[in-house]
Amino acid sequence: MTRAKRDFGTIRKRANGRYQAYYMGPDQGFHRAPSTFQTKSDAEGWLAAERRLIQNDEWSPAKSRRAKVRRATEAFGPYAEAWLAQREIKQRTRALYRRQLDRFILPAFAEMSLRDITPPVVRTWYTSIDPTRPTQRAHVYSLLRAILNEAVRDDILAKNPCTIRSAGIAKRQRPIDPASPEEIVTLMNEMPDRYWAFVIIAAWCGLRFGELAELRRGDIDVKTGLIHVRRAVTWDHSTPVVGTPKNGQQRSVSMPPHIVDVVSAHLDRFVERPSDALLFPAVGDSTRQIHSNTVRRHWIKAREAAGRPHMRIHDLRHTGAVLAALAGATPKETMDRLGHLSAEAAMRYQHVARGRDAEIAAKLSELAGY
């Protein structure tokens, strides 16, 4: 029986002619190869591989690695179900993930073992998802990546096979294209007069639809020109739900002086006296908030007339943000006005405004005859 001592590990020839290898691990424990080897060089190869793991700091006791291999053959389906069940997320997000799993992810991967989900497999799957729905595609990809990231953290996978660059980022489809002051006037005039103030407040003060729909007489201070945005309405099926504005940010927005008259006339003509009377109530029920589809129906006609057939109601808010920036508001001031929490959101409008400013400067030069 020979026993060759080496600089890493030991190889021992057994009586039956096979070779056995073992070494002392970083954990100071004794680790033997799971089986003996036919040749000495096979044993050496095993030792070299173990040593590389230690050097790369990827080593773990062989026993637990075997457990890992077993778990890696676990099917994706059950793993994903457990992942979703254990996640602490909002009901709404859970429902979203459920749909995405059922429609896009499980049909492709449910039966596969985690180990068999390789980057090429993911790539092939990714290209099979409708690219004309980029937001959905990015979201679904993100979800798969998040689940497999958990498998990495669980030490089931060494690396996440979702390696497509930027695939999880949903780019905005349309550039921010605010309405000009002239277009705002046209849009307003093309709407029924009970919505004039709606358009003008959205465009010049940048309120969200849900904030406008929940505005009440008491929120408007004609004297100081302030609109207090304290609440917003959302819809749970057919029931209006009143809460704080998105991000929980209450704020007060100054009306530009030129719109105060329109707003004040609106209060006189269309709003009931009590301070909790809605500015834009549902038709036929003054206690109920207007439904977005009701405004939209008129909006679609108005935007055609204004030559902006693709403009959405929410784009009026963008308009408000860009106009503020154009008027010289700093990013911080724009944030406060719009109720943003992050500077990035405000900066987007600042950029658009800078582009506009350059346009205006160019027009001025034209006027001057250059």
Buried b (16+ CB within 10 A) or exposed e, 308-338: beebebebbbbbbbbbbbbeebebeebbbbb
Number of helices and strands in the chain (H, E): 15, 11
CB 143: neighbour CB atoms within 10 A?
20
- DSSP letters for 82-142: HHHHH----HHHHHHHHHHIIIIIHHHHTTSBGGG--HHHHHHHHHTS-TT-HHHHHHHHH
**Catalytic-residue membership of 314:** yes
Question: 279 to 298, contacts with DNA by CB under 7 A?
Answer: 282-285, 288, 290-294, 296-298
**Catalytic-residue membership of 349:** yes
**String of contacts with DNA for each residue 176-215, x by CB under 7 A:** x-------------------------------xxxx----
Residue 337 contacts DNA per CB under 7 A: no
Output the CA–CA distances (angstroms, integers) from residue 330 to 201, 304, 349, 358, in the order listed. 20, 33, 11, 17
Given the residues 115, 137, 208, 216, select the one marked as catalytic: 208
**33 vs 325, beta carbon nearer DNA:** 325
Of 16-24, 68-76, 90-98, 265-273, which segment contacts DNA by CB under 7 A?
90-98
Q: How far is the CB of 137 from DNA (least distance, A)?
A: 7
Query: Which DSSP category does 216 fall into?
Result: B
**3 vs 90, beta carbon nearer DNA:** 90
Residue 86 contacts DNA per CB under 7 A: no
**110 vs 176, beta carbon nearer DNA:** 176
Buried b (16+ CB within 10 A) or exposed e, 118-134: eeeebeebbeebeeeee
**Catalytic-residue membership of 231:** no
Residue 331 contacts DNA per CB under 7 A: no
Decide: residue 251, CB within 10 A, 0-12 exposed, 13-18 middle, 19+ buried: middle
Residue 354 contacts DNA per CB under 7 A: no
Residue 66 contacts DNA per CB under 7 A: no
Q: Which residues are catalytic?
A: 208, 314, 317, 340, 349
Which residues here bind DNA, judged by CB under 7 A?
Answer: 87, 89-90, 92-94, 96, 99, 132-136, 142, 145-146, 149, 166, 168-170, 172-174, 176, 208-211, 232, 234, 237-238, 243, 245-247, 282-285, 288, 290-294, 296-298, 310, 312-315, 317-318, 338, 340-342, 344-345, 348
